[in-house]
Copies of this chain bind each other. A is one copy, B any other.
Amino acid sequence: MKFNDSPVGIFDSGLGGLTVFKEIRKILPFEDLIYFGDTARVPYGNKSKETIIKYSSEILEFLTGRKVKIVVVACNTSSSLALDDLRKKAGVPVFGVIEPGAKKAVEVSSGGNIAVIGTSATIQSRAYSIAIHKEITFLNGDKSRRFNNGFKIIEKACPLFVPLVEEGFLNQEITKSVINHYLSSLIVEKPSCLVLGCTHYPMLKDLISAEIGGNTEIIDSGIETAEVVKNYLKKNGMLKVGAEKGGELFFVSDDIEKFKELGGKFLGRSMENVSLTDGDVIK
C-alpha cells in the first residue's frame, strides 16, 4: 500500500470524537478513516494527567500499529494533557483539537473577551488559555494590538454536559437549566466568542447558542480541526489519490451495541464496521 493510501487515525475517550470524525468525513470524503473510542474507560474529563497520558499512549500505539498516516486526537481532554507526549512518541504527525479552536477564536474575536467551556480536566489544564495567548503572540502588528490588557479569557468547566448528551437529553428543559447554570457567569462578560472545548458539546450547540445570545460566535473545535487536517494533507502531498468513497473502521474498548446506538445519533446515520478490541489496548 502506498503511504498516501494509509488511513487517518482518530481517537477519543468515547463517543464525542465522532463529531470531529463527522467533520473530517465531510471535507475529506475519499480518505480511509479509523476511529477508536475508549468506551471501557470513558470519561477522561475527571481523570488525572498521568492516567490520561497512559490511556492515550496505549491508543496511539494501537493506531500506529494499523499504519495510520496521521493521528487526530479528537478529545479535548487528551489534547490538553497528552498531546506533547503523544507527539514525541508517535512517528507520524499528531493533531489535537485545542490549537485549531484557539486559532479560530483569536481570528473571529476583535480583541473582545473569549469564553471557553470544557470538562474539568481540560479547564484545569488551562490549555485553551495557553494556546490563545500563544496565537496572539504569533500575530504581528495591528492584529495582535487588538487584544489590549483589558481582554479576558473566561474558562468554565461544565461536567454535566457529557452525561446529559450521553443520556440523550438533547432538547430537554433540564438541559436548558443546566446550560443556564453554567453559562450565566460567562454571559455577563459579553464574550465575542465561545469555544466548545469538548467534542460532545456540538450536540448541544443550538441550546447553548439560544442561552448565550446572537452576539457571541460559537466555535466548534471539530470543524476547525478538520480544516487543519485537510490543509496539512494537501500541503504535504498526503491526500489519498482516487475518487472512491473512503472506508471506515470503528474500534471500541467496550460494548459495541451501545456505541452503535448512541454513535448513530452523533453521526446522524447508522454505523457499520464496529469492532471490539481484544485487550491489546486496555492492558
Residues of A within 8 A of B (CB): 39-42, 46-48, 51, 159-160, 162-164, 166-167, 169, 172-174, 177-178, 181, 253-255, 258, 283
Contacts and interface: CB of A to CB of B under 8 A. Distances in A.
Nearest to A48: B255
B47 A254 contact: yes
A39 B51 CA distance: 10
A47 B14 CA distance: 12
Contact of A177 (B47, B51, B177, B254): B177
Contacts of A178: 174
Given A160-B163, A174-B174, A40 B46 contact: no
Nearest to A256: B48
A48 B283 CA distance: 16
Nearest to A255: B48
Copies of the polypeptide in the assembly? 2
A40 B172 CA distance: 30
Contact of A159 (B42, B51, B163, B254): B163
Contact of A164 (B40, B48, B160, B172): B160
Contacts of A169: 160
B173 A167 contact: no
Contacts of A181: 172, 174
A173 B162 CA distance: 19
A262 to B, nearest CB: 10
A41 to B, nearest CB: 6
Contacts of A258: 46
A161 B242 CA distance: 50
Contacts of A172: 181
Nearest to A180: B174
A48 B40 CA distance: 8
A252 to B, nearest CB: 10
Nearest to A168: B159
Contacts of A177: 173-174, 177
The 5 closest A-B pairs by CB, nearest first: A163-B163, A48-B255, A174-B177, A40-B51, A51-B254
Contacts of A254: 47-48, 51
Given A47-B255, A283-B283, 15 more contacts: A40-B41, A40-B47, A42-B46, A46-B166, A46-B258, A48-B254, A51-B254, A159-B166, A160-B169, A162-B163, A172-B181, A174-B174, A174-B178, A174-B181, A177-B177
